[in-house]
Structure 1
Amino acid sequence: MKAFKTLLLVFLALGLTSCNDEQSSKSETQDFKVDYETFTLDNGLKVILHVDRSDPVAAVALTAHVGSAREKEGRTGFAHLFEHLLFLESENLGKGGLDKMSARIGGSGANGSTSRDRTNYFQTVPIDALEKMIWAEADKLGYFINTVTEPVLAKEKQVVKNEKRQSVDNRPYGHNSMVVNKNLYPKGHPYSWTVIGSLEDLQNATLQDVKDFYNKWYVPNNVILTVAGDIDVEQTKTWVKKYFNEIPRGEDIATLEKQPVNLKESKRLYYEDNFARAPRLNMVWPTVHQYHPDSYALRVLSEYLTEGKKAPMNKVLVEEQKLTSNVGMFNSTSELAGELYLTVTAFDQVELNDVAKAINEAFEDFEINGISEEDLARIKAGQETNFYNGLSSVLGKGFQLAQYEIFAGDPGYINEDVKKILAVTPEDVMRVYETYIKDKNYVATSFVPKGQKNLILDNSALAEVVEEEIVEGAEETFDASIVAEYERTPSSFDRTIEPNYGQSPDLKVPEVWTADLDSGLKVFGIENDEVPLVQFQIQMDGGLLFETKDKVGVSNLLARLMTKGTKNKTVEALENEINMLGANINAFAGDDAIYISGNTLAKNFDKTMALVSELFLEPRWDETEFELIKSSVISGIQRQAANPNTIAANTFSKILYGENNILAYNNSGTEESVGNITMEDLKAYYKNNLSPTLAKVHVVGDIDESDVVKSLERLNTEWEAKDIKIPELPPMPKVETSKVYFYDVPNAKQSIINFGYPGPKVTDEDYYPTTVMNYRLGGGSFASQLTQQLREGKGYTYGIGSRFSGNDLTGSFRINSGVRSNVTYESSALVKEIMENYGKNYDSTDLAVTKGFMVKSNARAFETLGAKLNMLSNISNYGFDTDYAKQREAIVKAMTVEDIKALAEKYINPDQMIYVVVGDAKTQLDKLKQLGFGEPILVNPKLEGLDQ
């Protein structure tokens, strides 16, 4: 057993900036401590503990050193399948397992993720539920496999296959990773298949395969348990030993040797993609494994080549040759090997040979000029900020400690990691380019729209891609209600008894300060010194609301242009100053506001806000940048036209709001409307619609009120106040009777469903109670009926949910999901049936689960800086009291079954809803008549522009 260690991180080099002003109140050298303790049980379980008193919560993560790389050919996707199975049931938690318990204890929602090399399971819970979580995690590790039966396996296969359809088969460029992996790595290499595996392999998995996999890899000596948060260390150790000690050690597991790749020749492949609307070129080079000394310089190289105005790829492909709006590049490192990805989604009809030629020109530019010390310093500054961002929650700290332990052999490797980041030199960056990229073999994939083979890279061969056929009744059936029968694993104590709660934590409501400035600008803040960061957001009300139908997209273009230089700074100069501060500044538009947001090191907040003030008050109005942005937006609109989820959302909004409501339109606009917009339109919007009287500033982090107000002095004194009123919206059309609207996407592997209707505004007295009512319908994930019946009961979907949402202007209720194509009608009918019976069947058990989650989850309501920023937004936008979370807690506690039934009757009526379905009309359209809402309306030709 080790005593607590302290990781003292001193960022001297990264603290340097290009500004020579007088020092701010924050030290230029930041000390940041991460205390941890490790110990190992006799069975080999490694435990990492970290104390964080900032909130009354604890994060628990179980990390198994097994991912897709430990699978066998022909049985791919097993590691990811296990990520699903372990949530379902264990011997002592019973059916529903950790998902069911999470709802009762107010957890963040039990979740997991699988990579090539590890699978983790994690959740943040109120501190009074910590023993319950440790008990549950032990049950998964030592008392699980007997609960997996043929019906359980059959159902979960369907869920995972639905996930693959959603994330791979039914999206643009979804098959690219499979094509790259298969061709970059030789046959049999652990990385030659994707993490999610193939549909065929998943279907062929047997129950014995599953048990063998579990018994080999899910053993204490191959697992790390991390507990981070407001913990009592000695008590936590006692619980860990009690629940994990008697789980037997497994066979020793040999370490896999590194398996770097040496391509003997370059490979070029192409594929005509059913969902693509623009050609995409990917170039991938083999590089190095995780934490290899060269990985740090490769990370700098990829960032320098593609990010920012002066990036060689940006200069050549975006600025000069106008082939694309963006070039993406990243070095991906895994335990055994790595690869560097370069991705270019070109503009419509651009030949990928031209893209490849331009890429080579950009490389030549880099070979001549290299990277300067100044550019290297700004990249490192951004890495420092990103490092802190990753540690802003207890779960983030826990993840990082486990990551270093499992792949570097020591949580304390965090210090070595930082040193290697700081040690990168310009010579290193050029060396890794010459070692891994220059004149080296690569895999290139050309993914182009159907019928546009003429755009592919020369000498490309057709890629092998298996497309699933849409066949009625193709999936095997199962009975999810069957209770598994098994013999319990012996234990020295009765593990069926769930541990009691600890002492209930009080909700810690952050202290909010407010300031009304002379200009009318309102400022809201929360001081929090947990990490040396500050997050901020300036909200300027209006957004899409000030626009007209013929020029939808003005506010979006204006927001995107805001960060493209200032009157006295080029785009490149502005970017350099922001990056040297380790800051991020973004501007974007929403339906009802334009936002300038970002985060920065606390020591650099005043300098960051000085740049924010300058870019807002002294716009550059750069015509070249404006045209580049317009081209980028139009390209994005074209690509969205092939995305079934975007199609569904746009279609639903058009019907929900009605043709005369500006909110019926996607704020990006259409190809036609964006084409109509001029720079003069942006200037008119800026002059006429932006005023401090319609603006709010939200600031959260390691800074006090006086420093924030001081940093806003220029905005307060130079931003002209105007008397501006937000245009009134027409009333949303009332849905008298349900209708089905179908948007045809031929050969879609899933159908996207969006059902709903107008709902209460956020400021309506019924709004929050309706969200409580909705918890067991579809708002509570695995605690909801929609998830339990469509995913767990039928295997129709990977995920489904319902929600009430809105603001002080509008509100709506929506149900969203992607369902297996050949059960589109069955899924829709089941959703309708669930809604019909929800209020009638709601009982005291439903209410108890709802109250348990709603009340207990408040302990983690304001844990992160982002959560605190959202709190300020609610207070400033809707007039909520600073203790609104406690007021809501009282509302929940007072609600009765009768209250829920009344709300369900008032707000859940499936016969007065909009039913939007996006899928394959040839096989699915006619069957939807059976819903009883008349002939489905095929909307493709009737609602022109919706898919944009």
Structure 2
Amino acid sequence: MKTIQIIIYSFLLVFSGGSLVAQETQGELKVEIESFTLDNGLKVIFHIDRSDPVVAVALTSHVGSAREKEGRTGFAHLFEHLLFLESENLGKGGLDKLSARIGGSGANGSTSRDRTNYFQTVPKDALEKMIWAEADKLGFFINTVTEPVLAKEKQVVKNEKRQRVDNSPYGHTMYVLDRNLYPADHPYSWQVIGSLEDLQNATLEDVKEFYNRWYVPNNVVLTIAGDFDKEQAKVWVDKYFAEIKKGDPIPQMEKRPVQLFETKKLYYEDNFANLPELTIAWPSVHSYHEDSYALEILANYLSQGKNAPFYQSLVEEKKLAPSVSMFDYTSELAGQFMLQVRAYDGKDLDTVLAAIEETFEKFEKDGIPEKDLKRIKAGQETRFYNGLSSVLGKGFQLAQYQIFAKDPEMINKEVGKIMAVAPEDVLMVYKKYIKDKNYVATSFVPKGQVELILENSVQAKVEEEEIVMGAEQEFDLDKEVTYQRTPSAFDRSAEPPYGEQAKVNVPKIWEEDLESGLEILGINHSEVPLVHFILEIKGGLLMEDPEKPGVSNLLANLMTKGTATKTPGELEEAIELLGANIIVFAGEENMILRASTLARNYEETMELVKEILLEPRWDEAEFALSKQQVLSMLQQQKASPNSIAANEFRKIIYGKDHILSNNNLGSEESVEKIELQDLKDYYHNFLSPNLAAFYVVGDIEKNTAVAAVKDLASAWPVKDVNLPEITVPSAPEKPVIYFYDVPGAKQSVLNIGYPALAETDEDFYKATVMNYRLGGGSFASRLTQELREGKGYTYGIRSGFTGSTLPGPFTISSGVRTNITYEALDLIKHILETYAEEFTEEDLEVTKGFMIKSNARKFETPASKLGMLQDIYNYDRDKDFVKQQEETVQNITVSEIRELARNYVDPDKMYYLVVGDAATQLDRLEQLGFGTPVLLNEEVAAEK
């Protein structure tokens, strides 16, 4: 992927012009789309949704890792990166530079086994610009790729692999599993991201061959979804795409389902794992196979929730693991049914496997009850509606159906297939694909704990990268390169003008203050028949005993584990039968209950919320289980460089005795000490309606929404609670560098910053504006442009202010390849030192363009609307604060930005934390001039 972003494709996406058209009696849905094909083979799909003044544009090429050559694995993904860098008519910076100016969501992309896509949501007035830009990628790109550009992007992708795979606990699991599940000549036997060696061996000739083969109109789908004029869009699509030449015919790849002739068991001692993990894969079916719908329900029933057979057996009864994961992973050519269990410390994986087999036998005898099938389908209905929240998601799904189902109208049929699954179908697919069938099982265990692996496992072969100083290929991006431009019937170098300006309408907000002190804020959002709401209560970690942190987190966990009148399983079932979802979690300054439900079931869902909040069960067994699960999470964090960095940086920022220096999960020592009475004391002393606010967004009238909240508040006792006064340490007088040793780390995780501003500070928003070009603007930022695009040091880097009602830290965070740790820090230091003086009028123009134009996307989803309501309540903002922020941006000057930068991003008043390999990197950091680095885990180093 181009940036660190996960895109989830919901197979339940269905939509029609911003409103749903459903025929529930037949279990069918009618969706209005329009599609056509240009003479060169480009397939175009339109969907109109006028709910917000935005348009999503996605270009999807039917090429992924499955269409690579052996020895050039990871090439499709490498190519995805290259396509963002430059094109003939957009120039250097390509779509990234354009995106910043037009207020886009950020040009991004992703690669799978079978397709690569490029996508962005923009204000509606920028649609022609996006069509122009996407066409430039498809027909006017390849000449701009040079040897230095390719060398640099190889480093970026290799950094991505290190971050996602090599430097991550259990990161090699899928590599081991797929190599043994699929034959060596099967295109799914290698990983999408490929191998470091293959990436390094990719040549410029490979790039050109790949582009000319796969990036042709007859292998691409263009989807446009949102608020636009279809006839005008057709004219633009024809103008910019029609003259791009058709490529050679591309034959369809045949399905290649896998048949295993024996069960394979493999193990690996993982340098970053603290717990044993068992992963099992059975060959299953390709995407949209008739059996895939029942397999998905089988996975859901067996593994998800308190009533799931695997949860009841492995988690509650045998206490082998905190959870069980199961899913059907389908792709275009084949599929794999996956089961994964990360067991508790010291648990033998043979014991885990025995429990799995025992549970399967019970399921075969009992099958799936009708009530559970109904419960799962209710959840699918809610997920279906949730999938309608963004035009980008709609564009993704249309392309998915076109490429893999060969029919975008499949969107009108698939929900019916899901709803048609019967109990006997679920049992049938179990017997057909799981029962007594061969599988591949991997045992990933901590170093030195081979006794925990499955019996008769063989050691897996995994190539580990060595840390070698100066081993990376050099490149010079400043060298001027000329190339022959691709001819066109018109001047494509002229950027198209904006269309009619997108009018941003701030949603109408209603509010109600109750006698108890509870405040209600709401927005009517009737695009889909859902209601989303949040109950926020001030407190969280701030209210805890500093000697025993983790109480509020455990209380939040326990609140959905039954009520006085419902067992944990009965409560979960009641929630799911309503098509609802209710979660409770604790943060540093609050506890939050977040829920969504079908609009018709809002009042019944609120009755359950009332039970959860006011009638706790205080289940001793669930409390013990929650403690065990939290302890397991804490143990896992100790093995993850990113988690280590977050936890250690918190201590550095606040000081070890400050309440906010604690992980809100607590520590292993504090969690062990917490008793159920501690949770009861917190509940009775601190949860009060006068510290609470209720935010609601959805297809519901104010009176209906308020009535249910009043019913809750009238039964909720008001308490006299004094919120503690919290002081936050000031910035250091001089820089200090800290190092946490993770021997053999393939990357160094960097966290740089200091205690900065509260969100309520008058400079906070201005400082955020200042930070856009520093590190808040993704590919528009100097940090990204210099460390990633200029040097290839990292896969991603960002900076930002994260204050609340209390001052929070300014932070720069990144993962860089180990052997340039000093060089990366030195470059960051230089950027901070020069940022104020080098900030220009052009920088300000780009910042203003993005921060004002991006407001067209500000209120697209229910989640964004809920976030706006939270900001209004927590920071005492006016309802039109977004307009006020626009005015701030319009009026800010270069001199103000420079002064803000001098005040708030001074590199000589920051802490620098590195989590990496001390043996090769620690001593080098003295060159930064910040003194001798402080080794945070000297006892580890002493043992080396």
Among 660, 684, 689, which residue is 1:687 paired with?
684
Q: What letter corresponds to residue 67 of structure 2 in structure 1? A: R
Structure 2 counterpart of 1:10: 22
Structure 1 counterpart of 2:329: 332
Among 742, 747, 753, which residue is 1:745 paired with?
742
Q: What letter corresponds to residue 319 of structure 2 in structure 1? A: K
Structure 2 counterpart of 1:872: 869
More displaced stretch, 426-435 vs 704-713: 704-713
Distance 1:120 1:211 in 2: 19
Deviation for aligned residue 1:48: 0.5
Distance 2:703 2:18 in 1: 33
**1:354-400: per-residue Cα shift (whole Å, max 9, x none)?**
10011111111111111011110110111111111112111111111
More displaced stretch, 5-14 vs 48-57: 5-14
Distance 1:857 1:480 in 2: 31
Q: Is the 8 A contact 1:480 1:792 kept in 2?
A: no
Distance 2:64 2:656 in 1: 50
Q: Is the 8 A contact 2:541 2:549 kept in 1?
A: yes
Distance 1:32 1:506, change over 3 A: farther
Deviation for aligned residue 1:763: 0.4
Distance 2:863 2:18 in 1: 27
Among 908, 911, 920, which residue is 1:911 paired with?
908
Distance 1:721 1:167, change over 3 A: same
Structure 1 counterpart of 2:9: none
User: TM-score of the superposition, structure 2-length normalised?
Assistant: 0.97
User: TM-score of the superposition, structure 1-length normalised?
Assistant: 0.96
SS of 1:293's partner is coil
Is the aligned partner of 1:795 residue 2:795? Answer: no
Q: What letter corresponds to residue 192 of structure 1 in structure 2? A: S
Is the aligned partner of 1:43 residue 2:40? Answer: yes
Structure 1 counterpart of 2:770: 773
Structure 2 counterpart of 1:161: 158
For structure 1, the 5+ residue unaligned runs are 16-30
Distance 1:668 1:479 in 2: 47
**1:876-930: per-residue Cα shift (whole Å, max 9, x none)?**
1001111111100000010111000110111111011000000000000000001
Query: Where does 1:595-674 land on structure 2 (aligned, <5 Å)?
Result: 595-674=592-671
Structure 2 counterpart of 1:852: 849
Structure 1 counterpart of 2:726: 729
Deviation for aligned residue 1:12: 3.2
Is the aligned partner of 1:809 residue 2:806? Answer: yes
Distance 2:787 2:731 in 1: 29
Is the aligned partner of 1:305 residue 2:317? Answer: no
SS of 1:748's partner is coil
Q: Is the 8 A contact 1:283 1:341 kept in 2?
A: yes
Is the aligned partner of 1:213 residue 2:210? Answer: yes
Structure 2 counterpart of 1:74: 71
Deviation for aligned residue 1:33: 5.9
Is the aligned partner of 1:820 residue 2:832? Answer: no
Structure 2 counterpart of 1:547: 544
Is the aligned partner of 1:179 residue 2:176? Answer: yes
Q: Runs (4+) of structure 1 moved beyond 3 Å?
A: 4-9, 11-15, 31-34, 941-944
Structure 1 counterpart of 2:13: none
**Paired residues, what number?**
926
Distance 1:939 1:14 in 2: 64
Structure 2 counterpart of 1:935: 932
Structure 2 counterpart of 1:295: 292
SS of 1:421's partner is helix
Q: Is the 8 A contact 1:323 1:350 kept in 2?
A: yes
Distance 1:53 1:926 in 2: 59
Is the aligned partner of 1:229 residue 2:211? Answer: no
For structure 2, the 5+ residue unaligned runs are 1-15
SS of 1:615's partner is helix
Structure 1 counterpart of 2:253: 256
Q: Is the 8 A contact 1:14 1:380 kept in 2?
A: no
Query: Where does 1:875-890 land on structure 2 (aligned, <5 Å)?
Result: 875-890=872-887
Structure 2 counterpart of 1:353: 350
SS of 2:435's partner is coil
Structure 1 counterpart of 2:6: none
Deviation for aligned residue 1:649: 1.0
Distance 1:11 1:297, change over 3 A: farther
Structure 1 counterpart of 2:458: 461
SS of 1:60's partner is strand
Is the aligned partner of 1:363 residue 2:338? Answer: no
Distance 1:210 1:868 in 2: 43
Is the aligned partner of 1:392 residue 2:389? Answer: yes
Query: Where does 1:107-126 land on structure 2 (aligned, <5 Å)?
Result: 107-126=104-123
Distance 2:360 2:71 in 1: 40
**1:547-599: per-residue Cα shift (whole Å, max 9, x none)?**
12221100000001010011001111111111111111101110000110021
**1:185-222: per-residue Cα shift (whole Å, max 9, x none)?**
00110100110000000000011111111101000010
Structure 2 counterpart of 1:698: 695
Distance 1:533 1:326 in 2: 29
Query: Where does 1:491-506 land on structure 2 (aligned, <5 Å)?
Result: 491-506=488-503
Structure 1 counterpart of 2:318: 321
Deviation for aligned residue 1:483: 3.9
Q: What letter corresponds to residue 394 of structure 2 in structure 1? A: K
Distance 1:746 1:448 in 2: 17
Distance 2:91 2:635 in 1: 48
Distance 1:598 1:718 in 2: 20
Distance 2:554 2:821 in 1: 38
Structure 1 counterpart of 2:132: 135
More displaced stretch, 122-131 vs 499-508: 499-508
Distance 2:603 2:403 in 1: 39
Deviation for aligned residue 1:943: 12
Q: Is the 8 A contact 1:14 1:384 kept in 2?
A: no
Structure 1 counterpart of 2:7: none
Q: What letter corresponds to residue 361 of structure 1 in structure 2? A: E
**1:225-263: per-residue Cα shift (whole Å, max 9, x none)?**
001111011101100000000000111110111100000
Distance 1:69 1:749 in 2: 27
Distance 1:39 1:81 in 2: 30
Among 757, 767, 776, which residue is 1:760 paired with?
757
Among 833, 840, 845, which residue is 1:836 paired with?
833
Query: Where does 1:583-594 land on structure 2 (aligned, <5 Å)?
Result: 583-594=580-591
Q: Is the 8 A contact 2:261 2:438 kept in 1?
A: yes
Distance 2:509 2:720 in 1: 28
Q: Is the 8 A contact 2:22 2:30 kept in 1?
A: no
Distance 2:73 2:656 in 1: 49
Distance 2:72 2:21 in 1: 43
SS of 1:122's partner is strand
Structure 1 counterpart of 2:713: 716
Q: Is the 8 A contact 2:19 2:528 kept in 1?
A: no
Deviation for aligned residue 1:6: 11
Distance 1:12 1:130 in 2: 35
Q: What letter corresponds to residue 835 of structure 1 in structure 2? A: L
SS of 2:831's partner is helix
Q: Is the 8 A contact 1:748 1:920 kept in 2?
A: yes
Distance 1:32 1:397 in 2: 15
Q: Is the 8 A contact 1:331 1:339 kept in 2?
A: yes
Q: Is the 8 A contact 2:18 2:49 kept in 1?
A: no
Q: Is the 8 A contact 2:19 2:527 kept in 1?
A: no
Distance 1:689 1:646 in 2: 29
Q: What letter corresponds to residue 869 of structure 1 in structure 2? A: L
Q: Is the 8 A contact 2:17 2:47 kept in 1?
A: no
